[in-house]
Structure 1
Amino acid sequence: MRYVRAVWRGLALFAIGPLKPVFAVGSLLGIAALPWLIEFPRPLMGLARRLAGEWSGVPIPVPYQPKPPPPTPGPDGLYRSADGRTLYKTAAGPAFGRYYTWVMSDLATWRDLGWLVLDPVIGGAIAVLPAALIAFGVTGPLLLRTNVFIGLVSIAVGVLIAPWMLRLHGLWTRALLSPASAAAIVRARAFGWWFANGQIANSRCFAIGVQSLLVIPLVPVYLLALLLGPLGAPVVVWSRWLPNLFRMYGRRWSELDLPRPYLPVSGSSWMDRERWVLRDPATWRDLGWLIFQPVIGIVPMLLPMTAFCYAMGGLIGPGLFDPNGSQWVGQLYGSRWLALVGGVLLVVAMLALSPPLVRAHSLWSSLLLRPTAKAMMLVEREELTARVEQLTETRTAATDTQAAEVRRIERDLHDGAQARLVAMGMTLGAIEALIDQDPAAAKALVSKARDSSASALAELRTLVRGIHPPILAERGLADAIRAIALDSPLDVQVKAALDGQLAAPVESAAYFAVAELLTNAARHSGAERVWIDLRHLDSALRISVLDDGTGGADPSRGSGLRGIERRLGTFDGRVTVSSPSGGPTMVTMELPCALSSPKTSTFSATD
């Protein structure tokens, strides 16, 4: 009975074989574009593992990595990518990134795909062999007129080897569907890196090829714009977006130094703009690139993706799954098996060819799109001139700001503390005159003088805090910002990661900039919560202030943000404002500076 049951079980395992190519296609689609399809065949692999344990006596543990938890928002209500560099308003973006990383980095994903492709041939042959021998023994003497003795021997052999073939099928299944060894994981990661790198490069080749098609209609437009003179100068400038796009590809994909080589605008009239465009060497180098790019960038760059898709869909697919395919699809020299081998080799060749092809195209682009030495000298001279003008402007702004600050201090001293001190002197004179004649009146004046001295002291302290807050000098920037956060009517959270002390002028500028932003948030944004983040990255102090207000902040319409830009511009600082209508508003400030005297990173929040 055990032998007969093994025969029928082998037939059952063979019968589910036609389902595996369908699931293999789903896995391939998942790897190529739709990661959710990668989980589609896993119930079939689960069934194979269970049957291997129950029928073949070969238990196979489940090898999959646990699914990642759903992303959670940070304290600012936004979601972050795995590297923390990208912010999302919803969980869809980071959830997709986590899911894709999970399925693609799991070695079981690739082992499942290998089993789906190979098991219909190898596992299916092992499982069906006993039933095939029995069928030959029964039908051979009747249909093929073979010897009856041979038929009986075939039946006996088929029955006797059935349990062993069932056991062998279970061992074969375990070889691919069980958890991988440490060495296999290392090899798989290396293969996964190679495959991912090749697939990414393949997609980049396709993007370059498709976008190179845009050059064909752009060339006559570019030439016509050059012939039109002053009227065509704006069109020439507009056409630079495509060469700049490929310069960006060269920098990001091949790490080549491809800066934008265009000269800064000189003059404001139509004729000035024409002379500026025509005397720029990059204008003519762009024209040469546009003329040759269709030849270099279309056919060679579209070849990898075309060959890859043909190998996957024209050779491998029909060769495995379409028994009634035509003579030219799914066959190579009349053989579907040769088509399978040729398709696999073609896929491997295209994945290996794509990275050097992307590099070669970037090198070609650099021949014309990279600025010449003369152009770089002109650009550097123009940049130096612009830099001198910027420094002159910031120095003038700093001088004006300093003069205004001195005038403010003089005004506050004259109208505030000085006036109170003069009043105190007059009150003390009156006390001296009345102390013998009317002690009660003199006592009342003493009380008034004491109140005036307290008011003068409070005004002096306020004035000192406006110049340089004592807590800033004593405790540093992080604790000083926490102090103003505690005084704010909003719910402010402060996170600081400063492993050292900043220069006093930088701390002062950052402190008053944050104070101004908190004031703006409380007065104008309608916000309830504010998040402040202080970090020192890449030799620069980076401060982010995020609020949940209504947004709409615009530096061109408000003196507060412009004042912050002028204050930080003295230190070559930058201010970036992101404030869409409806919020939130994020202001990012960067100040080049160094750190000294290490301190501990801390976190605090106001209730």
Structure 2
Amino acid sequence: MATPTTSVKDVAVRTVRAAGAATGQLAGGLGTAGLALGLLVLFALVAVTAPIGVGLLIAPAALRSLHALAARERERLTRWGLEVIAPNPPPTRLRAALVDPTTRRELRWLIRHATLGFFLGLLGLWLPVFAVRDGTFPLYWRLVPEGASSTSIGLGSAQSWPDAIAVGLLGLGWIAIVLGLSPAMARLQAAPGRTLLAAGPDTDLSLRVAELTATRAGALDAHATELRRIERSLHDGAQNRLVSVTVLLGAARRMAARDPVAADELLERAQSAAEGALAELRTVVRGILPPVLADRGLAGALSGLAADSPVPCSIDDDIPERCAASVETTAYFVVAEALTNIAKHSGATRATVTVRGRGGRLRLLIEDNGRGGAEEGGGSGLGGIRHRVAAHDGTFRVTSPSGGPTTLQVDLPCGT
């Protein structure tokens, strides 16, 4: 049974950690709030100059900036909590944007984040500075010029030790405020984004149903394709070798009495065929669920793929927690297929794989310096990757201009 002292210590540790995390959230929110403030000024300029036509020219750029900033805020909020599901891409043309519910919600978020969010972000950074400055004041108060303010808020002047200690006590008060209010301030700063930037009641659910229907069909098709691949591998590889083993053993048994030397040769051939069949079976098993994933995790499995890649490949991974086995398997095969494509078709001399696990999502970025021009179909394997990703309700994007480089971005839910 935990003692009261241990319980108090645990509560104190949790409180300090929560305050630290909240301060980080407020600092990150201050960054996007500063951009929101600048963008709000731009929209004000659009409104003022619209009658003379200038505002109409810069309105599309302002709308694109709004959508980009909203997407950045969704990513930030997702890193610090539950995922913020993005609605359907909003329009950038002015006439369509005026009646688009997503754009209206983003504009409402912009106003709130540029004002309240900016103020809370500044307050979230100032309070810890005040706490440190006033809390340590008794250590350096004699070095403060005479007549200078002793407190962070510009009040009072320390002339003696009691005055300096009083300022130190004010610093303790700041610490109490930081510990007590920072989490609530972070939640208040994030609330408009979580409410207004997520896919809300304005989202067309019929589109989502259609998307899920297509995803399910793609997943079933990918599953059927995988079964056919396994069947072909067993039929053309291991099964043929096992038939050879049976034939050779039968011939060796019949020849054992009259020609022992020939029988030994047949047994050696049968042993070689059996070893080949075993190797084929191991290959098929690795193609279903690579054992290296269970032994070394996704990061170790990807390092193995990079080491075996004909094209020099570097892995940059940051995966704090394990994902569901099916998700890790999908990520593994996505990278394996991508590296195979790079080696076969791109002419690249270098490839990089970046893996990040944040906010319940697993994100992959695969890049090469090849000739580009990658397209789905034509045996590239990109269609298979898309189906694998769609089976988990993930997203897959390919950017491959002629001349390169080629970039593959995959976003998967980690699952449980």
TM-score interval, normalised by the smaller of the two chains: 0.5 to 0.7
- For the residue of structure 2 that corresponds to 1:565, the secondary structure is helix
Query: Does structure 1 conserve the Cα–Cα contact (< 8 Å) formed by 2:327 and 2:415?
Result: no
8 Å contact from structure 1 (residues 412, 463) kept in 2:
yes
Q: In structure 2, which of residues 25, 39, 50 is the aligned counterpart of residue 215 of structure 1?
A: 50
2:207 to 369, 386, 405: 386
Hey, what does 2:367 align to over in structure 1?
546
* Aligned partners of 1:262 and 1:282 also within 8 Å: no
* 2:289 paired with 1:468: yes
Query: What one-letter code is carried by the residue in structure 1 that aligns with 2:261?
Result: A
Q: Give the SS at the match of 1:581.
A: coil
For 1:488 and 1:198, locate their aligned partners in 2 and report how far apart those are by CA, in whole Å.
Answer: 44
Of 477, 480, 489, which aligns to 2:301? Answer: 480
| Match of residue 331 from structure 2 | 510
- Aligned residue number for residue 560 of structure 1: 381
Q: 1:197 to 1:446 in 2, by over 3 A?
A: closer
For 1:403, the equivalent position in structure 2 comes to 224
Tell me by how many angstroms 1:516 deviates. 1.0
1:444 to 262, 265, 270: 265
CA distance 1:574–1:214, change in 2 (3 Å): farther
Cα offset for 1:561? 2.0
Contact residue 535 and residue 543 of structure 1 kept, 8 A: yes
What does 1:302-313 correspond to in 2, within 5 Å?
A: none
Contact kept, 8 Å, 1:244 with 1:260, in 2: the verdict is no
Following superposition of structure 1 onto structure 2, how do residues 596-607 of structure 1 map, counting pairs within 5 Å? none
Q: Tell me the CA shift for residue 213 of structure 1.
A: 5.4
Superposition deviation, residue 388 in structure 1: 1.6
**Residues 1:532 and 2:353 are matched in the alignment:** yes
Report the counterpart of residue 393 of structure 2 in structure 1: 572
| Counterpart code for 2:311 | L
CA contact (8 A) 1:472 1:508 kept: yes
Name the CA shift for 1:417/1:248 in 2 (closer, same or farther; >3 Å). closer
Once superposed, what is the RMSD of the aligned Cα atoms?
A: 4.5
In structure 2, C-alpha distance between the alignment counterparts of 1:197 and 1:399, rounded to whole Å: 41
Give the corresponding residue for 2:344.
523
Could you tell me whether the CA contact under 8 Å between 1:534 and 1:541 is conserved in 2? yes
Contact 2:237 / 2:277 at 8 angstroms: preserved in 1?
yes
Alignment partners' CA distance in 1, 2:325 and 2:391? 14
CA gap of 1:282–1:246, structure 2 versus 1, over 3 A, is farther
Aligned to 2:136: none
The alpha carbon displacement at 1:254 in A equals 12
CA drift of 1:392 comes to 1.5
Q: Deviation of residue 549 (structure 1)?
A: 1.8
* Residues 516, 203 of structure 1: alpha-carbon distance in 2 compared, 3 angstrom cutoff: closer
Structure 1 pair 546–249 and aligned structure 2 pair: CA distance change class (3 A):
closer
After superposition, residues 82-93 of structure 1 pair within 5 angstroms as none
Shift of 1:396: 1.4
Residue 386 of structure 1, CA deviation: 1.5
Distance in 2 (CA, whole Å) between partners of 1:458 and 1:467 is 15
Q: Show CA shifts across 1:536-569 (max 9, x none).
A: 1121111111222223334477742222111111
State the TM-score, normalized to the length of structure 2. 0.56
Q: Which residue of 1 aligns with 2:16?
A: none
Using CA pairs under 8 Å that are at least 6 residues apart, name the structure with larger relative contact order, 1 or 2: 2
Residues 1:440 and 1:213: Cα distance change in structure 2 (over 3 Å): same
Q: 2:411 aligns to what SS in structure 1?
A: strand
- Aligned residues: percent identity? 39
Q: Structure 2: 5+ residue runs without aligned partners?
A: 1-30, 75-83, 104-191
Offset from partner CA, 1:421-445 (integer Å, 9 cap, x none):
1221122111111111111111111
State the alpha-carbon separation in 2 of the partners of residues 243 and 200 from structure 1.
Answer: 12
| Shift in CA distance, 403/493, structure 1 to aligned 2, threshold 3 Å | same
Change (3 A) 1:491 1:200: closer
Deviation at 1:214, TM superposition (A): 5.8
The gaps in structure 1 that reach 5 residues or longer are: 1-195, 222-237, 265-276, 287-365, 596-607
Matches within 5 A, 1:27-66: none
Question: For 2:306 and 2:325, how far apart are their aligned partners in 1?
Answer: 20
The 3 A distance-change label for structure 1 pair 215 and 451 is same
The verdict on how the C-alpha distance between 1:524 and 1:573 changes in structure 2, with shifts beyond 3 A counting, is same
Given candidates 578, 583, 587, the residue that maps to 2:408 is 587
Contact residue 39 and residue 62 of structure 2 kept, 8 A: no
User: AA paired with 1:586?
Assistant: T
Q: Distance in 2 between matches of 1:252 and 1:414?
A: 49
Q: Which amino acid aligns with 1:456?
A: A
3-state SS of 1:551 partner: coil
Conserved 8 A contact 1:550-1:584: yes
The CA deviation at 1:399 is 1.3
The number of equivalent residue pairs is: 281
Kept after mapping to 1: 8 A contact 2:367/2:407: yes
The DSSP-based 3-state class of the residue aligned with 1:454 is helix
Partner of residue 282 from structure 1, selected from 96, 99, 115: 99
What pairs up with 1:320-469 in 2 under 5 angstroms?
Answer: 377=201, 379-380=202-203, 382=204, 384-469=205-290
Alpha-carbon distance, 1:408 to partner: 2.0
Partner Cα separation in structure 1 for residue 233 and residue 34 of structure 2:
68
Q: CA deviation at 1:511?
A: 0.5
